[in-house]
A and B are shown apart, each in its own frame.
Chain A
């Protein structure tokens, strides 16, 4: 996969828009899904477009030695969506979130086979988290809340909210790392 990513980025750098189309076909569901969960389906298309156009304009910002293209695009999608969310205050509605799975729900059959397997592992790992840590991570991940907002939403101190995010995410990283879903430091 890393070889494919390096090759496709080299083609994008060379100005081959069909390579960008290939990246879009591979990762647009990931990018769009992340954005839609935060800013709603109507605005997610714009975020999705911004992410792929940014990849086209600045392919050199992707460093295959540091992250997979999937991680790079997922981080970019979250950043863009959260920036928009905090700028406009418009969040995804319940309708936007309907039909989508909770972190511990059933896999989406439309996902690619690999993503489905990984999604299932992620759900299982999240389900094993203590309730307070899972809730903190879901609020930060799905609602785009800052740790301070997580603290308010859960009635906890800021330090406690930060700790829950840290403990929960480290536990997830360790669990997913041991299953080969993510690289663990």
Chain B
């Protein structure tokens, strides 16, 4: 028959037949076009579809057991295409840029606001970042001012330099931090093979690539610390940035979780844009625990900005192992 798309009455007449799939393909398309443009008809159409779906309960019949296996095999063969993580250097550069854009908006008095969970003000926290930037610059072979104090202690190192910066102008500290970060970025961009170089950061042997990801994580976290301190909304990184940071965090877990808490293989499912599913090895064949959390929440928990007990997570299986994994995820954060 063919439906005149302008003729709403004809579509109304066909709606029940459409819900029952008792129309041909052109009619189906015509109905769906009208329904898509009309919220009232869309509600009616949904009600009719719910009704037809409810009729399915009458005929429900379990499939043969092999169907389940076939479905799971087919799914395993297809896998899930995951988002490409942002490359480490670009990730670090973007977090530095994001922090920079945000800091230039701050009023002078906001630089003096205290930033939890530290005793520093905004100025002091940027001075800390400047010290860390100098430390990293030295590790990648740049000629940067030496960092004093205990360099294995992330918060304590360079205490004198931080104090000296805080005694001066925040504008100068901010500018010095930007310059130092930019020099590191430029140096690595000029020599990409440096990403594979191994360095020792606070006693941990890591590649420069891994270090950049960890530092990006740190800069994002501190930017949010300052946003919180200055009553600004926190910022969620792009999905690809989140993917890079969460992959980095999960990759460290097998190294950091105490073996006595590992009862078996574990799965971490991070939901939301930039998330993914990660399987961690463990003794035995059967998965001991699955931990499900939003990827942003997981990253903030790993950064110690959400308490483990406050993380909205689903834990299926061994809760002790799940807790140990979350504790391990926080080892690198201070």
Q: Select A21's contact among B52, B70, B72, beta carbons within 8 Å.
A: B72
* Chain B residues engaging chain A, CB cutoff 8 angstroms: 1, 13-17, 19-24, 40, 42-44, 46-64, 66-68, 70-72, 74-76, 78-80, 82, 267, 269-272, 275-277, 290, 292, 314
The distance from the CB of A149 to the nearest CB of chain B, in whole angstroms, is 8
**Which residues on A sit within 8 Å (CB–CB) of B19?**
169
A57 to nearest B CB, angstroms? 7
Say whether, besides A28-B62, A56-B78, A173 and B17 are in contact (CB < 8 Å): no
Q: Which of B46, B62, B67, B272 contacts A183 (CB 8 A)?
A: B46
Chain B residue, CB-CB nearest to A112: B60
Look across to chain A and name the residue whose beta carbon is closest to the beta carbon of B277.
A15
- Nearest A residue to B270, CB-CB: A14
Inter-subunit contact B22/A147 (CB<8 Å): yes
Given contacts A53-B74, A74-B52, A74-B53, contact A108 B60 (CB under 8 A): yes
Interface bits A104-135 vs B (CB < 8 Å: 1, else 0)? 00001011000110110011001000000000
Q: For A14, A67, A111, which residue has the most chain B Cβ atoms within 10 angstroms?
A: A14
- A184 to B21: give the CA distance in the assembly, Å: 19
| Residues of the A chain whose Cβ atoms lie less than 8 Å from the Cβ of B267 | 16, 18
Q: Is the CB of B56 within 8 A of A34?
A: yes
In the complex, which residues of chain A have a beta carbon less than 8 angstroms from the beta carbon of B80? 14-15, 56
**Can you show 20 pairs from A to B with CB atoms below 8 A apart?**
A7-B271, A15-B79, A16-B290, A18-B267, A21-B68, A24-B71, A28-B67, A48-B63, A71-B49, A78-B21, A82-B21, A108-B61, A115-B60, A118-B57, A146-B22, A146-B23, A147-B23, A150-B22, A166-B16, A183-B50
Partner of B61, one of A7, A29, A122, A184: A29
A32-B61 contact in complex given A49-B67, A122-B55, C-beta closer than 8 Å: yes
Q: Are B61 and A100 in contact (CB-based, < 8 A)? A: yes
State A94–B2 Cα separation when bound (angstroms).
34
Query: Whole-angstrom distance between the alpha carbons of A172 and B48 in the complex?
Result: 9
Residue of B55, B66, B72, B275 ringed by the most chain A CB atoms within 10 A: B55
Counting CB contacts under 8 A, is A145 at the interface?
Answer: yes
Verify if A20 is at the interface (C-beta below 8 Å from B).
yes
CA distance A123 to B241 in the complex (A): 53
Contacts of A70 in B (CB 8 A): 53, 56
CB distance from A172 to the nearest CB of B (A): 5
Give the secondary structure class of B's interface: helix
* Chain B positions within 8 Å of A154 at CB level: none
- Closest-CB distance, B254 to chain A (whole angstroms): 19
Q: Other than the known A44-B63, A172-B55, what 16 A-B pairs have Cβ atoms closer than 8 Å?
A: A14-B269, A14-B277, A19-B269, A29-B61, A33-B59, A49-B74, A66-B46, A67-B53, A71-B49, A78-B52, A110-B62, A140-B20, A140-B22, A162-B14, A182-B50, A182-B53
Taking Cβ atoms with an 8 Å cutoff, the residues of A that contact B are: 7, 10-11, 13-21, 24-25, 28-34, 36-37, 44-45, 48-49, 52-53, 56-57, 66-68, 70-71, 74-75, 77-79, 82, 100-101, 103, 108, 110-111, 115-116, 118-119, 122-123, 126, 137, 140-142, 144-147, 149-150, 158, 162-163, 165-166, 168-170, 172-173, 176-177, 181-185
Given A14-B276, A18-B267, A162-B14, A184:B47 Cβ within 8 A: yes
Q: Which residues on B sit within 8 Å (CB–CB) of A126?
A: 55
Q: Is the CB of B20 within 8 A of A165?
A: yes
Given A20-B75, A147-B23, residue A185 in contact with residue B47 (CB < 8 A): yes
Assembly CA distance A34 to B270 (angstroms): 34
A111 touches B21 (CB 8 A): no
Contact between chains at A53 and B75 (CB < 8 Å): yes
- Complex CA–CA separation, A100 to B19 (angstroms): 23
Known: A29-B63, A67-B46, A185-B47. A74 touches B56 (CB 8 A): yes
Query: Given A16-B277, A48-B71, A82-B21, does the pair A169, B61 have CB atoms closer than 8 Å?
Result: no
CA distance A149 to B21 in the complex (A): 12
